[in-house]
Structure 1
Amino acid sequence: MRRYGPALLLLLTGAAVLRITLFGDLYLRYVQAGLRPYLIVSGATLILLAALTAVLTQSRDDDHHHRHGPRTAWLLTLPALALLLFPPPALGSYSAGREAAQRAEQGIGAFPALPSGDPLTLTVGEFSSRAIYDSGRSLKGRTLRLTGFVTHGDDGTWYVTRLLVTCCAADATTGKAEVRNADALPADTWVTVTGTWHPKGALGSDAAWPPVLDATAVKQIDQPADPYEKP
């Protein structure tokens, strides 16, 4: 059976890719929604290659070659099997904490007007951009609502955090807002925080990062199907 190892590896990998794309939204943990068709094609192609490899292997008389093949080659199937049975979770507080906050004095200017009505739902990225770079101070006096997962800082501070993905999880960057006047929940808990902007620091400066939200309500929620924000 060792000679069918390459075919089995292709089959498991293809099945894992199809599982996370055809039967749910698990693929959104790793890539943008627009890449779903390419993942489906890739998964189907891998399964076809597995079938072709098995047929060619069966037709070859290569018993001597496989008698001397390394038994450890079967270990290569374990990562594919793990992906099929136990898909990794979305990136969370550990990934967010590894990225140092680096902000420069650039992009300062007036932003487009915000919709009327409170509370106003913003992404964490939108809130951060306006809090740090908006010369028109469009967040002032507004009741805001942000959704993300909990990360912890020093001295008891905590943040509502979201990872921004341009293409896939490998290029994720971090956006976060410090939450005040509310008790922290465990790291990686998903929450919706309602509150008001608390200005700090000069526009575009390191002192303005991360922006602050004075909370009036914190609601624990389930992780959304798509856990990442888009640029």
Structure 2
Amino acid sequence: MERLTQNLLLVLLGGITLRVALTDAHLAYVQAGFRPFLIFAGAVLLVLGSIGTVRDWPLRQSDHEAEPDDPAPGASGHVDHGHGPPRIGLFLVLPVAVLLLIAPPALGAYTADRQAQAIAIPESLQNSALRLGPDDDGADYRSMPLLEYAMYALADDTFTLEDRSVRLQGFVLPRPDGGWSVARIRISCCAADAVPVTVVVDGDRGPLQADQWVEIIGTWAPPVAHPDGDYPEPVIVPRSVTPIPPPASPYEG
């Protein structure tokens, strides 16, 4: 690949990175705290690519002007075109350019279904006497991240959840046994280390579709066994299930 094509790729990659970093789109790939690093990386790529393009473009034009109008064939019988651009390099630019217009969606039900795993309960919660704290202001429930609810729901001592209503938010994940779960994807750094967190919903799914975001207000119920794995899953009995728009930050940190 000639240097001009390489520099154009740097410009496109820098533009994509800045476009993602300067909007909420970056939250589909990394934690919010990585935004400054994305902006810096995108700016560096854009500047380096632009400098290289400005430097190499006149050289490429002068190379073409220096070529004879009717070059003689070489010893192999093929015409030597000197520094003509490798056409294959231009095809590498196309998929990068497409990303400027179409951004892949955040991870969802497909990932959660194929990477399901048991939830590890910290030792501090195995026999925890910790309480959840008061309900949300003006409400008769307490909002909880899915992972927090799952750990409390699977702990040996679940008294802290008994007779309490909680609010969970996540996307719909159909289960192999015909039921459904509410799920979130948890990331520590970026989408590459994504781990699903699921809570079985003890109620009818109705018209809800996979990946549709919902808010569930309900109460704790004893865990059930995963149909394809030998481990328990947390359960919530819904009092209400309300469709909601996808949040700007789809992952739990």
2:157 paired residue among 105, 128, 135? 135
Q: Report what 2:83 is aligned to.
A: 66
Q: How many residues align?
A: 224
Say yes or no: does 1:76 pair with 2:92. Answer: yes
1:1-231 matches, cutoff 5 A: 4-22=4-22, 24-60=23-59, 63=64, 65-67=82-84, 69-103=85-119, 107=123, 108-110=126-128, 112-117=130-135, 118-184=140-206, 185-200=208-223, 209-230=232-253
Whole-Å Cα distance in 2 between the matches of residues 200 and 82 of structure 1?
45
Whole-Å Cα distance in 1 between the matches of residues 122 and 21 of structure 2?
39
The 1:172–1:127 alpha-carbon spacing in structure 2 relative to 1, beyond 3 Å, is same
The 1:78–1:137 alpha-carbon spacing in structure 2 relative to 1, beyond 3 Å, is farther
SS state at 1:200 partner: strand
**Unmatched segments (≥5 aa) in structure 1:** none
Decide whether the 8 Å contact of 1:191 with 1:219 is kept in 2. Answer: yes
The 1:102–1:65 alpha-carbon spacing in structure 2 relative to 1, beyond 3 Å, is farther
Q: Structure 1 residue 15: deviation in Å?
A: 0.8
Note the alpha carbon deviations across 1:148-190, whole angstroms, 9 max, x for none.
Answer: 0001112321010001110001101010101112324100000
Decide whether the 8 Å contact of 1:194 with 1:215 is kept in 2. Answer: yes
Whole-Å Cα distance in 1 between the matches of residues 155 and 231 of structure 2?
9
Matched letter for residue 100 of structure 1: A
Larger helix proportion of the pair: 1
The 1:66–1:209 alpha-carbon spacing in structure 2 relative to 1, beyond 3 Å, is farther
Whole-Å Cα distance in 1 between the matches of residues 129 and 249 of structure 2?
27
SS state at 1:162 partner: strand
Please give the TM-score of this superposition, normalised by the length of structure 1.
0.88
Whole-Å Cα distance in 1 between the matches of residues 91 and 119 of structure 2?
44
Decide whether the 8 Å contact of 2:224 with 2:233 is kept in 1. Answer: no
**Range with bigger deviation, 188-197 or 112-121:** 112-121
Q: Structure 1 residue 102: deviation in Å?
A: 3.1
Q: Percent identity?
A: 40
**Unmatched segments (≥5 aa) in structure 2:** 65-80
**Range with bigger deviation, 32-41 or 113-122:** 113-122
Decide whether the 8 Å contact of 1:130 with 1:137 is kept in 2. Answer: no
**Range with bigger deviation, 99-108 or 79-88:** 99-108
Whole-Å Cα distance in 1 between the matches of residues 166 and 45 of structure 2?
46
Q: Structure 1 residue 214: deviation in Å?
A: 0.6
Q: Structure 1 residue 82: deviation in Å?
A: 1.9
**Range with bigger deviation, 193-202 or 6-15:** 193-202
Aligned-residue CA RMSD in angstroms?
Answer: 2.2
Matched letter for residue 75 of structure 1: F
Note the alpha carbon deviations across 1:7-29, whole angstroms, 9 max, x for none.
Answer: 2211111111111121x200000
Decide whether the 8 Å contact of 1:93 with 1:149 is kept in 2. Answer: yes
Please give the TM-score of this superposition, normalised by the length of structure 2.
0.81
Note the alpha carbon deviations across 1:36-81, whole angstroms, 9 max, x for none.
Answer: 00000111111101111112213536555532x5311112112321
Note the alpha carbon deviations across 1:91-133, whole angstroms, 9 max, x for none.
Answer: 0100111113235676323153212223111011011111112
Whole-Å Cα distance in 2 between the matches of residues 121 and 73 of structure 1?
52
